[in-house]
Structure formats: C-alpha cells, structure tokens
A = this chain, B = another copy of it.
C-alpha cells in the first residue's frame, strides 16, 4: 500500500509535526481534532454544521453502534457514512474501550471478549476478527485494532500481560483486515483504501510502552495510537506514556493520542509528536453549560453572566460568538432550552478545531513552541473538568 500520510513540516523546537492524511473520503490535515459521534451523531450537531466548522473527520463508536441500532440496520443503509449522512472521513474505534468501561460481565480470553451490553444485557462476543468485520461493515475510513485498555492504576504484571494480548490481537486484526480488503475490493473502492491503526498499551510503565510500540511497529500499521491514556492518571503519567512510545514510532505514519484532552493537553501532545485527537469534552461539557475559551473554561450557568452582553469569547469567529451573548446563552441553559447546549457545543467544537488549525499554521511558521507555551500559560481551568 502507498503511503497515505505526508509530512509537510516539522517543528525545530519540539516534536510537533504538520501533516496530511489521505483517506477514501477525503484529506485530514494534522494535527487534527476528531469530534466524537458516539451513536452516529456528534451530540447536538448536524453534518452540515460539522462541515461549516471545517471538521475533516468524525469518530464513530463501534460498541455503541453495534448495540444500537445494530449492524444489520447500518448495513441495510449501506454503511455509517450513508446512515448518518456524513461523507467525510470516519474513524471507528474497535469497541474495546467501551466493552471495558460500559458493558457488564466481561470475560476476556485470548480468543476475545464476552460481554453483556449496557442497554438490555444481551450477550455478545467480540474477537479481533469480529472487530474488523464490524468496522468493515460500518465502512469506516480508519479502523482500530481491538485492544485491552487497562484501568489506572494497574499492576505491572497485568499491564504486561495485557499489552501482549493487545499485540497478539493486533496481529490477527491485521491479517483479517487484509483479507477483508481483498474480499471487498471488487465492489468498494473505499474498502481497498481502509486504513488500520495499531494501538500501543503498557499502562504507566516505560518499558512496557516501549515494547508495545516496537511490537506494533513491527506489524506495520497505517498509523499508531497511544491507548490507555486519559483514564484517570495524573497528567505527568499521560505525558510519559506518550514520551515512552513516541521515539519508536516511524515519522512517516500518523500518531493518534486516544480520548483526550483539554486544549493545553492537546498542544502538549502535539509537542510530543502526536497528530490526531478525539475527545468528548467539547460536546459533553457544553451540555452542562461549560464553554472553552483561550483563557480557560467558563461555566455559563454562573449568575455573573446574567447581564453579560459579550460573546462567549471576544474575537471568536464561530457562529455562536458572532450572534449571541453570554447572558442569552446563560438564560437558555438555566431554562433548559436545547438551543443553549447547541450554541455552546458549536462554540466548543470551533474552539477545538480552530486550535488545531492554529497549531498547524504555527508549525508551518516555525513558531509552534512559543505559541504552545504562551497558550498553556494563559489557560486557566476555572471550572473542574470531570474525568471521562
């Protein structure tokens, strides 16, 4: 397979990279933020709004879609793109993370994971092979290998055993992905271009992270993800997990830091060589009335905003800030009007996507490191951000 990732610029003062990833449904400029479309919808947002926000890719959660509406429904509609009416790139996770965090009565064996789903308790089994088949049926542009995501904290021995299992599963994912690609090649050009990313585990242990990275790289994936981060560990541990693995990753493949984070965390991760991010914070916090700004988060429920005629963020180019005041949005949130969370969601997604756009420009200009330091220094988390 040709190389789908092009490295356009590298920062001189950090490991930040500016790249471009080609997929069957379009190009993704990196560093990239991927809004999370858990159940086939980025919460509160329409596909048209995602286009207007310049989102270049969305993430779909395999576990959620597998449980509801179920694969038969999505196959009937010709895949997730058609089903949700989004014709840009889609990355799907393997379902592993949600099986370990949401499902009940899990039993992990070398073969795969047995579980009961969180909705109606129906039993199901997902193996590396099944995870690949599901993602092929969803028709995602980037698929992820099935991995075991260990909790924090986690003992060394379990983390080691689990990382080995993830490697063994990754090998099987790669094999079945290749045969699925061949099988679908005849009737789907997109299928032949489906990318597959390996996932690096290893908990908080440097040597396990390194070994996991080396094992994944040996299997030669289209990209590499750092998994098992942002699971409740201190921020230094999160950074160390990335730092331990990154030196062993090839420069010519994209790197994806899974499930994070706050705006400063993403910039810190970019400085450590990461290219792609996904996070539910912009949409989840919006539903609670919390908005992201360059100065930190604002809880718009607070009484101080009742008479505030300013937009959420001065000079913000998003549709919300061009048209609506903090005071009005506060009223909507207090009155439980859906428009309130919609307006904050749009602002927050713009904020995340715009930060990535800024990062790309700063990398191109050779000014990323100053930008990062200034941004991190300026950013104050005024409101507690819940651990995901």
Q: Measuring CB to CB, which residues of chain A are less than 8 angstroms from any residue of chain B? A: 39-41, 43-48, 68-69, 73, 76-77, 83-85, 306-307, 309, 319, 323-325, 327-328, 331-332, 334-335, 337-343
Contact = CB atoms under 8 A, between A and B. Distances in A.
B341 A338 contact: yes
Task: Name the residue in A68, A327, A335 with the highest tally of chain B Cβ atoms < 10 Å from its Cβ.
Answer: A335
A185 B118 CA distance: 62
Contact of A339 (B44, B307, B332, B335): B44
Contacts of A68: 331, 334-335
13 contacts: A40-B331, A44-B342, A46-B339, A68-B331, A69-B331, A69-B335, A77-B325, A77-B328, A83-B328, A84-B328, A85-B328, A338-B341, A342-B342
Copies in the complex: 2
Contacts of A69: 306, 327, 331, 334-335
Q: Which 3 A-B pairs have the closest CB atoms?
A: A69-B331, A44-B338, A41-B339
Contacts of A40: 328, 331-332, 335, 337
A251 B104 CA distance: 68
B41 A73 contact: no
A83 to B, nearest CB: 5
Contact of A73 (B44, B48, B327, B338): B327
Contact of A307 (B76, B307, B341): B76
Contacts of A338: 41, 43-44, 338, 341-342
A82 to B, nearest CB: 9
